[in-house]
Structure 1
Amino acid sequence: MTDFNAESLSSIGPKEFAQLVKTTPDSQIAEVMNGDARTKILDEVFNRMPSLFRAEKAGDTSAVIHWIISGGPNGSDTYETVIENGGCTVTNQPVREPKLAMTMDPVTFLKVVSGDGNPMMMFMTGKIKAKGDLGLAANVAKLFDIPRA
């Protein structure tokens, strides 16, 4: 298994990434995500979202989701996912009013996107804070082909 870093992440697929998150201690993920590689890793994860989007599950869903990843060297990073017209686009320059805004630390975020955590449980225990359409929050994971490690 490769080390958890930006370089290895760009060269592995979703299943390998899920395995990497699952087998890397939280403390090591937190350390990497507090360093220079944070933006590269977040960009890599978000850039993959459109290819993992499941349009057939979205139906006529139209939503703007803001992902606020806390705990960075410069505060929080916010990414915007727009789901509309059967497609999904992502930017790290949010401009639209979100239907849903979710705030979480980087370890929690990586666990959610790698399928290594139960998003509903994380919400119930306060690891994920959600504002806006909570019904959308409950279903957002179903809109993406989340790998299972």
Structure 2
Amino acid sequence: MSEIDFTTATAEQIAAVEPHEFIRIVKEMSDKDVKQVMESPNREAIIDAIFRRMPELFRPDRAGSTTATTHWSITGRPDGGADEWTVRFADGTCTTVPGHDGDATLTLAMTPVDFTKVITKSGNPVMMFMTGKIKAKGDLGLAANIANFFDIPKA
């Protein structure tokens, strides 16, 4: 596959990028490059593609009997707002919906750069929380383990 430029790709092209390819591309990007992409018109398409892929990468064997509703806020939108998503774990499944839906067991807020580090496993979420890069409220044990619920492809 030819290299995709996330700043100029269409939403359809972004959605078609396989998870392992997405991870590889993002891991090769500098923080400055990630920030630039996440300030581009494609920010919404990229975040949408990430959250919509979460159920595909979910590993129920790792989540066990976890039942939780997590609210995610990816800050730094050009209009000053945040992209918000709900990720639920119940009965061995993972579902995602745009917006904050229902009562959260865990609320997470982070910049787009820190978000990409979390979802590519190139950052340590516990250290990111301890240094204030991730804001978490609620079940902090879940926050420390949530990345393990997913089979993140190696780049």
The two structures share one fold, judged by TM-score above 0.5:
yes
Answer whether contact 2:14 2:45 (CA < 8 A) is retained.
no
- The match for 1:13 is 18
Q: Distance in 1 between matches of 2:20 and 2:149?
A: 17
TM-score by length of 2: 0.89
- Asked if the contact 2:85–2:98 (Cα under 8 Å) also holds between the matched residues in 1, the reply is yes
- How far did 1:4 drift? 3.3
1:4 aligns with 2:6: yes
2:89 alignment partner in structure 1:
83
Inter-partner Cα distance in structure 1 for 2:87 and 2:54 = 8
Q: Contact 1:68/1:76 (CA < 8 Å) preserved in 2?
A: yes
CA distance in structure 1 between the partners assigned to 2:83 and 2:4 by the alignment: 26
1:70-104 alpha-carbon deviations (Å, 9 max, x no partner): 00023111100011111111011222110000110
Among residues 106, 109, 117, which one is paired with 1:111 in the alignment?
117
Number of positions where the alignment pairs a residue of Structure 1 with one of Structure 2 = 149
Looking at structure 2, the residues matched to 84 and 23 of structure 1 have their Cα atoms a distance apart, in angstroms, of: 34
Alpha-carbon offset, residue 52 of structure 1 = 0.5
Contact 2:57 2:151 in 1 (8 A): yes
- In structure 2, what residue type is equivalent to 1:66? H
When structure 1 is superposed on structure 2, of 44-53 and 121-130 the one drifting more is 121-130
Which amino acid letter does the alignment assign opposite residue 17 of structure 1? F
RMSD of aligned C-alpha atoms? 1.4
Q: Which runs of 5+ in 1 are unaligned?
A: none
Q: Which moved more, 1:116-125 or 1:98-107?
A: 116-125
Letter aligned with residue 3 of structure 1: D
Aligned with 1:83: secondary structure? strand
- 1:140 matched to which residue of 2? 146
Seq. identity, %: 47
What is the rounded CA distance, in whole Å, between the counterparts of 1:9 and 1:144 in structure 2?
20
Query: Which of 52, 57, 80 is the aligned partner of 2:57?
Result: 52
Residue 38 of structure 1 corresponds to which residue in structure 2? 43
Rounded to whole Å, the distance in 1 between the matches of 2:133 and 2:24 is 21
Gaps of 5+ in 2: none
Distance, in Å, in 2 between the alignment partners of 1:121 and 1:95 is 28
1-structure distance, mates of 2:111, 2:37: 13
